[in-house]
Structure 1
C-alpha cells in the first residue's frame, strides 16, 4: 500500500499491515513524544519469539490485511504516540489477530495475552504473590535448619542455608511483564475488556498514563532488589525497590465486542479502531494462508458464510476455517452429510445454541 508521504518524501508509517517478518533486522520506531517517554532500567534482553502462536493466528503464508488505509493510519498513530488501540467489531472478526500482525511485522517478539473475564482485576494483570507457597517454603527451611544445626554448635544467625527469596513467589502478569524496561516495546493483547467488572477500565488509567506500578510485597521488603518470574516462560527479571517502570511504552491492543461503553477518561487515552467483516477476496486469501493452498469448494463455503453474515447472523472466522477443514479435507462422500455439518459449523452464534 502506498500510504501518505510527507513533504520530505519519507513514508511516516512503520506498519503496513503486511504481517511480513522484517528483513535485515527489526524496524526502528521513531522516538516517542516528550510526554510519552519513560525512564525505566536497566534494559532487559529482547523477548523471545513465538512463531508457532503467530502461525496459528496468521497462517503460513503472508497474511491478507483486513485494514484499509484509514485503519492502517490509526495503528501507526497509536505506535508513534505510544497510545493503546481500542479495537471494536463483531466477535470473531480478527481483532485479537491484529496484535500478532503488529508483533510479527515489527519484530517485537512474543505477544503477551491478558484475557479478561468478569472477575479480572488490575492486580491479575500486574502480578501475583503466592503467600501460601512462601509460608510453606519458610516452614520447610526452618525445619531443615533445626535438623542441620546441632544444639551445641548452632548459632542463631547461621545462614548456611538461604532463606527462601521473596521474588521466587512473585510472578508478573501480562501487563506487568509488558511494562518491564525493554529497549523496544512489547506487544500486549488485552482481550475482551468489555467482559470486565465496571471498575477495571478506570483502574487501568494510572498504568496506561504513567507506565509504571509498584509491587506492595517488594516495597515492604528490606532488600532493594528481587528476582521475580515473568509471563515469558522460564524467564525472570530484577525489580528494584519494588517498582517497575517501562523504557518504551508497550504496544497495547485492547479488544471489545461492544457489549458496554467505556468511561470517557479511558477512551481519551486510547485510539479507536473498528474492524469489519472481511471481503470475499480477503476471506479467500485468509483460507489459502492457513491451508497453504486454496482447498476445493472453499469458494462455495465462503459465499455461504458471507450470505449468513449479510442476513444479520453472528459468525466468526474460525467457524469458516473449521467448515473448510472438515468438509474439504475429511472425505465426506454425501451431500446430505456435508450439508448437515455445514449447518452445525456455521450456525448463528447469536441464537445461543
Structure 2
C-alpha cells in the first residue's frame, strides 16, 4: 500500500490561507453535507467585489500562508461542514481579517460586516423597516393622487402607490442568507460585546438558514424587491421568506470577554487565533508596503518580543510604526524612538 505524503494529507483543503486565488476561475467548494443543504431561490447573480476593502485589510498578498497548519484545517472544516467559525483571541491578532482572507482567496465577493454593540438585536442583522418613511410616502402619494384624478380617465392611470419593498433593507446577516449560487462571507465582529440574549437568538437562523419578514408575509403581493446591504443592489423576496441556497461563510469574532451558551458553541467550530509569528508579521508588512522598509525587521523584532512578554498589541500598531519610519528623515533609532515607543505601547495598560 502506498504511503501518504504531506501533499496527500492536505488535498482536501480548498483554503490555504494565502489570500491568493489559484487562477481566473474561483476555486470550487465541496458539496455540503445532506443536513446542511438548503433550497432557496431563485439564484441571485454573484455579489460585487470590494477590492479596496480587501487591500486595506490584506494589502497585496503573496502566496505565503498567513495561518498555522492547524488553523487552516479548522477553517477548511468549517467550509466543508457549512458551519460558522467562532474565532477567539486578543484584540489585534487578525481575527476579522480572516473573513477577507477567505473571501479573496475563494472569490466569494464583498465581505458583509455586522459590527456588534451592546444594543444590537437579531433584527438589526436581518432587516430594517422604515415604517415612518412609508407612512409619509403614502400620505404624499394620496395627496398627489387625489389632485390628479380630475386630469386622468381612471384611478388606474394615476401614479402607483409606494412599494413596500422600497422601505425594507436587509442587514448583513439578512443579505448573507439570500439564495446566492456560492456562499457569501459574513463577518460578525465582536459578538462578546452583545446583549446576553443575542447568541441564543441567532441559533434558529444559523441552523435553518432562513428567516421571515413579517411585513411581507402579511402583504397581498407574492414578491417584493427589497434593498440589500450591497450598495445600490436589490433582491426579490417571495412570500416574505428568505432562504439561502448556499450557507454563508460566517466568521464570528470574540475577544474572550464572556462565555457563550453551549447550544451556540455546539453549532460553531472554535478557532483560537494565536499571535502571528515573526515570519508571518514580515510577510504581512511586506504585503502592505510591497517591499520591506529599512526599519521593518527591527520593529517586527521589538513587536514580537513585547507580545512574548505578555503584552496586548495590535498589528495595526506595527503597521503605523513602520509607516512612520518611511517618512523622509524620520529616525526610528534616534530622535523618533520615543514616538515609536508610544505607537508600540502595551494596550493592556489602559493609556
Q: Report the TM-score when normalising by structure 2.
A: 0.95
The equivalent position to 1:218 in structure 2, one of 216, 219, 236, is 216
Q: What are the superposed Cα offsets for residues 171-196 of structure 1, whole Å, 9 maximum, x if unpaired? A: 00000000000111111111111111
Aligned counterparts, 1:199-210, within 5 A? 199-210=197-208
Q: In the TM superposition, what is the alpha-carbon distance from 1:4 to its structure 2 partner?
A: 6.0
Q: Which residue of 2 aligns with 1:132?
A: 132
Q: Which residue of 2 aligns with 1:84?
A: 84
Q: Secondary structure at the match of 1:340?
A: helix
Q: Which residue of 2 aligns with 1:147?
A: 147
Query: Aligned pairs, how many?
Result: 347
Mapped partners of 1:330, 1:99: distance in 2: 35
Q: What are the superposed Cα offsets for residues 186-243 of structure 1, whole Å, 9 maximum, x if unpaired? A: 1111111111110000000000000000011111111110000001111100000000
Answer whether contact 1:63 1:289 (CA < 8 A) is retained: no
For the pair 1:240 / 2:238, whether they are aligned, the reply is: yes
The equivalent position to 2:269 in structure 1, one of 256, 261, 271, is 271
Q: What are the superposed Cα offsets for residues 141-173 of structure 1, whole Å, 9 maximum, x if unpaired? A: 11111221229x775x44520100000010000
Mapped partners of 1:22, 1:148: distance in 2: 60
Mapped partners of 2:329, 2:175: distance in 1: 46
Further displaced range: 30-39 or 14-23: 14-23
Mapped partners of 1:99, 1:318: distance in 2: 17
Q: Secondary structure at the match of 1:42?
A: coil
Q: Which residue of 1 aligns with 2:98?
A: 98
Answer whether contact 1:229 1:236 (CA < 8 A) is retained: yes
Aligned counterparts, 1:183-332, within 5 A? 183-332=181-330
Structure 1 gaps, min length 5: none
For the pair 1:180 / 2:183, whether they are aligned, the reply is: no
Answer whether contact 1:74 1:273 (CA < 8 A) is retained: yes
Q: In the TM superposition, what is the alpha-carbon distance from 1:307 to its structure 2 partner?
A: 1.8
Answer whether contact 1:3 1:69 (CA < 8 A) is retained: no
Q: In the TM superposition, what is the alpha-carbon distance from 1:27 to its structure 2 partner?
A: 1.1
Answer whether contact 2:325 2:331 (CA < 8 A) is retained: no
Mapped partners of 1:346, 1:94: distance in 2: 17
Structure 1 runs (4+) greater than 3 angstroms displaced = 333-337
Q: Secondary structure at the match of 2:128?
A: strand
CA pair 351-104 structure 1, distance change in 2 beyond 3 A: same
Answer whether contact 1:122 1:204 (CA < 8 A) is retained: yes
Answer whether contact 2:19 2:61 (CA < 8 A) is retained: no
Q: Which residue of 1 aligns with 2:169?
A: 171
Q: Which residue of 1 aligns with 2:8?
A: 5
Q: Report the TM-score when normalising by structure 1.
A: 0.94
CA pair 290-195 structure 1, distance change in 2 beyond 3 A: same
Answer whether contact 2:18 2:61 (CA < 8 A) is retained: no
CA pair 30-103 structure 1, distance change in 2 beyond 3 A: same
Mapped partners of 2:38, 2:329: distance in 1: 57
Mapped partners of 1:159, 1:231: distance in 2: 34
Mapped partners of 1:342, 1:183: distance in 2: 48
Answer whether contact 2:148 2:158 (CA < 8 A) is retained: no
Q: In the TM superposition, what is the alpha-carbon distance from 1:334 to its structure 2 partner?
A: 7.9
Q: Secondary structure at the match of 1:253?
A: strand
